[in-house]
Amino acid sequence: MTALTLPRFNGRAISIHPLAIITVLGLGLRLRLIGQAQLWYDESGSLWMVSLPFVRMVAATAGDAHPPLYLTLLWAWVRLAGSSEAAVRLPSAIASVLCIPLTYAIAKRLQFSRAVSLSAAVLVAVLPAQLYYAQEARMYSLLTLEVSVALYAALTRRWWLLGLALTAGYWTHNYGLLFAVPINLAALWQIRTDLRGASRSIISAEMAWWFVVNVAAVAAWFPWFAVLVGQMREVAAGYWLQPVTPGAALYAMYMIVWAFSPGAALQAHAALLAFGAVTFATWRALRVRHAGAVWCAAVVATAFAVPIVLSITWRPVLLFRGLLPASIPLCILFAWAFVDGLTARRRLAVALLAAPTLLAAGVLYYVNVPEQKGDAAILKYIDWRPGDVVYHANDGSLQIAHVYAPATWPQYELPAVGWRDVGALSPVTRDAYGVQVASLDSLTWRRAWLVYAANPMTAAAEDQAITDLLQRYFHQVIYEHRDTMTHQAIYLLWNRTEGVP
């Protein structure tokens, strides 16, 4: 009888790459409290759209301001995973997690050291802006992943992958078109670097592949072009982006690092830390002339320059959320500037300066996460009974109420007669949603719960229309809250023709 010999276990044979630990850490941070906060206005819009039949969803998207790829993926996902807050945000979390090892791969390709590459991955794993959009049911984490894949493809000259990533970016967000500029500049830089001294035929062949994949990406996206023109025309009628100022550009840089995490007490310190880090890292890249660092600085600078130039020469398009993909090369630049070539004492000084703010911002994010997103709590003040109607002054409350209010509530929206709130839903999107727009006089009701949500983008004529309603009907203030920017209220109106209790 032959004895069974078990192999000896050698503990030293098992090793875990630090990148795996960093990625698992990033996943844990993105999943923590992912379903805690209610959906806010934009997220409620995402869920409303994907709850529609597919054709109506695409129609609603066409009337909005974005292409449909993200919503198409989410449309399929919610039919598998459900429509809870955690479920609808999970695709964004997954896309964000994938950016962590991709950041490491980009940094290694740029010939940064292992320490720099791992440090960059750590920054992406814990950066408050990355956490915020990883827990948002919108397309910004997906766009960040697509742009990062495109940058990696450009660096490795994988032209088929570049074409796929560009196409996906074009169909995910209109900023995908703007990011094509820094991505293709990076691709041309890589061709020049890798093929220096090569024959003209080899360079021509490589340039031909680069050209073909760009043409193919544009051709694959081009069916949406006519829709984009219509979207721009619709957006121009109710544009909410403000003209670009130096402060707006600095604010965009601040937001792709910190998002909304620092409170009022930390905001000034966080801003100085971010702007100081950007200034020092850029200065050091230009001074040392490290090719990878200059590449990162150029990608970030170009990503900001394109929307700023368009905003100055055409119309305002600077959207800080759309610039989130620039945070990936920015993290690599930060990691290099504060890790590579610095003495242990200086690294300790950097850690003591930056780590407390980063940690505090991260903690504040989780402490305040329920208040940082949606606000459906106002609906608890509505004591709906059969025969009542819920009447919304504008889209701001209607979109959230559609998700969180009981389906038995008949909900209507005030007609916008001669006015339009800045950033309001387009008529095309409203029709695809199936929004019921009607004057209160045309409805049959005994009590009407008037939900009023006003902000600086609310038209003055809408305010007047609400005032007129309150003057015409006996009413009671059920809830009201004002601050420097918003006015939220719920009024209970009684119909005189039905009698007043």
**pLDDT digits over 216-238, tens only?**
999 999 999 999 988 887 766 65
Strand partners, 449: 390, 492
Q: Write down the pLDDT at residue 498.
A: 54
Please give the model's pTM, rounded to 2 decimal places.
Answer: 0.94
Query: In angstroms, rounded to a whole number, what is the distance separating the alpha carbons of residues 77 and 435?
Result: 24
Question: First and final CA of the chain: distance in angstroms?
Answer: 96
Closest to 91 in 3D by CA, of 135, 32, 147: 135
Mind listing the pLDDT tens digit for each residue in 342-369? 777 777 787 777 888 888 888 888 888 7
Q: What is the per-residue pLDDT across 186-213, written as a single tens digit (0 to 9) for each?
A: 999 999 999 998 999 999 999 999 999 9
Alpha-carbon torsion angle 271, 176, 245, 41, nearest 10? -70
pLDDT band at residue 40 using 50, 70 and 90 as cut-offs: very high
**Secondary structure element (H or E) that encloses residue 487, with its range:** strand 487-494
- Listed in sequence order, the residues at least 6 apart from 172 whose beta carbon sits closer than 8 Å to its beta carbon are 66, 67, 69, 70, 139, 142, 143, 146
- What lies within 8 Å, CB to CB, of 432 at 6+ separation is 52, 56, 57, 59, 60, 63
296 residue type, one letter: C
Provide the 10 A C-beta neighbour count for residue 107.
Answer: 27
User: Mind listing the pLDDT tens digit for each residue in 2-15?
Assistant: 455 545 555 555 57
The average pLDDT across 151-156 equals 98
Say whether 441 sits in a helix, a strand or coil.
helix
pLDDT reported for residue 72: 97
pLDDT tens for each residue of 91-120:
999 999 999 999 999 999 999 999 999 999
Q: Tell me which H or E stretch contains 494.
A: strand 487-494
**Distance (Å, whole) CA 126 – CA 261:** 12
CA distances for 499 relative to 77, 177, 356, angstroms: 48, 58, 62
pLDDT band with cut points at 50, 70 and 90 for residue 1: very low
pLDDT, one tens digit per residue, over 370-427 is 677 777 888 999 999 999 999 999 998 999 999 999 999 999 999 998 888 887 888 8
